[in-house]
Chains A and B, each alone.
Chain A
Amino acid sequence: MWRDTLLMAGKDLRIEARSRVALSQVAPFGIVALVLFAFALGPDRAPMVKGAPGLFWVAMLFSSVLAIQRSVSVESTDGARDGLRLSGLDPAGQFLGKTLSVAAQLLVLELVLGVGVVLLYGASIQTFWLIAVSCLLGTIGLAAAGTLYGALSAGLRIKETLLPFLLLPVVAPVLLAGTRMWQAALSGGTPANGTPWFHLLIAFDAVYLALGVVVYGPIQETA
């Protein structure tokens, strides 16, 4: 399974390195979203600083939908999904590989949007490790749930519109926990401030990773 995971992740990352969709479309989309939020909140810095954690995660969620749709569409052309099925590649490895690849792209995106939040909103990070942990765990959860729901919607003709509809409500715990951990990090919170949300993210990641490993194969066979 691990060999197949690395093979799949390597293939998807190589495709991203060639096409640069995340770099040229997903990241600019996230930055545009941050700028528009800033316009909506007006010139006063206080509401922007206060809302920065939530706005960061909302921008992340919307951008991650694009990254996941791209990951799904890669397998939609020229019968690539049938090619994967025919290869006998372990479905659990396929799921983990795609999750790993999406997560790697989202981590880069978070770095870009994190800098954007600091520069555009004037947010000041007090507890850096809380930010790092929330981003890492939130990314794993987004990537795992996104890959799973992306596979679910892949066989449907209306997948482009169905994926956000399916995914965004499901990842609400990531938005909630990520935002709370960021709030704690921006206000110089202690580890105790982040602990419950840390546990929520761990549980979310564990559930979706386990679910994906188990059901990704049957979904691929029926999609």
Chain B
Amino acid sequence: MAPASSPSSALSLRDVVALSGRFPLLAGVDLEVAVGETVLIEGPNGAGKTSLLRVAAGLVPVASGQASVLGLDPARYRTEVRRRVGMLAHAAHLYDDLNVRENVRFAVKASGADTSRIGAACERLGLTGRLLRTGAAKLSAGQRRRVALAVLVARAPELWLLDEPHAGLDASARSLLNEIIAEATAAGATAIVASHEPELVASLADRSVTLTGGRVTGERTILASVDPPARIVHVA
């Protein structure tokens, strides 16, 4: 049984090292993300952004250091952590032989979430009418992304892990995604967004963290009162 606490930290990584074989994915990451915060993770290719999100989701084990997700040890409370965390990854995790409705329904039921939100979530993402009955194999990359996002909206996780969430989405879908993230954090959820396009996330993020070579190499506060392009201020 997981401890029943309400942690102030959604994600806490202390000197975390994660490996793929003998290759270090993360080489001693220190990061604290408070509940309700939106944090942008930046960095060049191979910096460890995706690995950091996968560690937070409990998909990659911590080789050394300490990790806590929503106040829980992800290695010890794997199922509990995964049911409270939602991840939008590069892959949409869809079954090509199932249609949109079946894919969303399976993913939401599998996570143990309330299925009554599925209809509204699909509608919000523009997954209506014939599209709901369309096989996933026939969807475009952007539509697959929308389906994966509909799963997250229906699940309403406490911690949103978004890996290049704007990739493959058109302008209206990008705006909608930002709206959804803003609503989720306003409702008390936490969002960690890895992106190569910081200008798309700047309007949402409280803070930006830069990763290089599997380590945190910079941190910036983002001011809420300024227009997106001018909001990013270097503090470290």
Contacts and interface: CB of A to CB of B under 8 A. Distances in A.
Interface of A: 4, 7, 11, 14-15, 18-19, 74, 77-80, 82-90, 221
Given A78-B93, A79-B93, A88 B135 contact: no
A90 B86 CA distance: 17
A74 B86 CA distance: 22
Interface stretch (B27-35, B106-114, B190-198, B200-208): B106-114
Interface in B7-29: none
B164 interface: no
A7 B109 contact: yes
B96 interface: yes
Interface centre among A4, A15, A19, A83 (most CB of B within 10 A): A83
B102 interface: yes
Contact of B83 (A18, A83, A88): A88
Nearest to A85: B59
B82 A85 contact: yes
B168 to A, nearest CB: 13
A31 B43 CA distance: 56
Given A11-B106, A87-B107, A87-B110, A82 B82 contact: no
A74 B89 contact: no
Nearest to B54: A82
B96 A86 contact: no
Contacts of B107: 83, 87
A7 B94 contact: no
Contacts of B209: none
Contact of A4 (B59, B61, B110): B110
A86 B95 contact: no
A15 B95 contact: yes
Contact of A78 (B91, B102, B110): B91
A79 B97 contact: no
B98 interface: yes
A11 B98 contact: yes
At the interface, is chain A mostly helix, strand, loop or mixed? helix
Contact of A15 (B85, B98, B112): B98
Contacts of A4: 110
Nearest to B106: A11
Contacts of B87: 86
B175 interface: no
Nearest to A93: B110
Given A79-B91, A82-B91, A87 B98 contact: no
B142 to A, nearest CB: 15
A14 B82 contact: no
B94 A84 contact: no
A88 to B, nearest CB: 4
A89 B110 contact: yes
Interface centre among A4, A88, A90 (most CB of B within 10 A): A88
Given A87-B110, A90-B79, A78 B98 contact: no
B99 to A, nearest CB: 9
Given A80-B93, A86-B93, A88-B83, 15 more contacts: A11-B106, A15-B98, A78-B94, A79-B90, A80-B95, A82-B89, A84-B110, A85-B59, A86-B82, A86-B86, A86-B111, A87-B82, A87-B83, A88-B111, A221-B61
A19 B95 CA distance: 11
A176 B102 CA distance: 41
B98 A83 contact: no
A222 B87 CA distance: 19
A15 B111 contact: no
B57 interface: yes
The 10 nearest A-B residue pairs measured at CB:
A83-B93, A79-B91, A87-B110, A88-B83, A88-B82, A18-B97, A15-B97, A88-B79, A87-B111, A89-B110
A78 B83 CA distance: 20
A84 B82 CA distance: 10
